Amino acid sequence: MKKYKKFFAITICSLLLFTIYFNRDPYREITKGNNIIISPADGTVEYIKYYKNGYAEVFKDGNCYVLNVSKYFPKGCYVVGIFMSPLDVHVNRAPISGKVVYIKHIDGSFYPAFLKGVEKVNERNIVIIRNGSDYIGVVQISGFIARRCILNIKEGEYVYAGEEIGRIKLGSQTALIVPTDYSIKVKVGEKVYAGQTIIAIKNTNN
């Protein structure tokens, strides 16, 4: 009986420690600069795709969910998908300072974020932030264990680059939608950090 109590106590303590570890929100020295877009999430760059007509696939798959963001990206856009493992910090941060002009929540089921086509079924939040004439998009996608995409912001609010805007529980994915007048500075397989890694830089040469 004592062995079972000991095992139960160890299990409870392990779960408690993991919960504390998972929900950690460490201090970040936010990268500052003009004409840059910083990472909205910790994780690994899983895909980078270019779309010329403003209809963007959130995940790399021929039958994946399509986002109609042509209103904000009429000249096309890049989509950078960031896979967040259960060991990554799951706080999402604003990739740029600006006004939140659009938020859309899409209900869904919950499947592993690394599977092709998960955008068709997984819960998602779509956020568009405007800075001057630029629009930047952030898409939260729930994962197999993750059950909720949480946002702490509302339409009409102003956010600052690196400010916490939400989080996703456990394994999940965050995608960044970038205008075509920016150059992508990361590669597939690269580790990125929310509020610190520069994802893209605006092309200022005419």
- Residue 71 included in any domain: yes
Provide the residue type at 32 as one letter: K
pLDDT of residue 37: 97
pLDDT of residue 4: 59
How far apart, in whole angstroms, are the C-alpha atoms of residue 27 and residue 75?
37
- Residue 11 included in any domain: no
pLDDT of residue 205: 73
* Residue 115, domain CATH: 2.70.70.10
Active site residues: 172
Q: Which domain holds residue 176?
A: 28-202
Predicted TM-score (pTM) of the model is 0.80
For residue 91, give the DSSP letter: E
- Residue 15 included in any domain: no
How far apart, in whole angstroms, are the C-alpha atoms of residue 182 and residue 125?
23
Domain count of the chain?
1
- Residue 62 included in any domain: yes
pLDDT of residue 98: 97
How far apart, in whole angstroms, are the C-alpha atoms of residue 178 and residue 192?
16
Residue with tokens 């729930």: 142
- Residue 5 included in any domain: no
- Residue 1 included in any domain: no
Q: Which candidate, 90, 4, 5, 79, places its Cα nearest to that of 41?
A: 90
pLDDT of residue 16: 45
Query: How many CB atoms sit inside 10 A of residue 201's CB?
Result: 15
- Residue 6 included in any domain: no
pLDDT of residue 72: 92
Q: What value, to the nearest 5°, has the Cα angle with vertex 130 and ends 125 and 133? A: 145
C-alpha neighbours within 13 Å on the C-beta side of residue 53: 5
- Residue 7 included in any domain: no
- Burial environment of residue 109 by CB neighbours within 10 A (0 to 12, 13 to 18, 19 or more): exposed
Task: List 159's β-bridge partners, or say none.
Answer: 98
Q: What is the pLDDT along the chain (206 residues), one digit of tens a residue?
A: 555 555 555 555 544 444 444 455 667 889 999 999 999 999 999 999 998 877 776 653 333 555 778 889 998 999 999 988 877 878 899 999 999 999 998 877 655 556 665 545 677 889 999 999 999 999 988 765 555 778 999 999 999 999 999 988 766 889 999 999 999 999 999 999 999 999 999 998 75
pLDDT of residue 168: 82
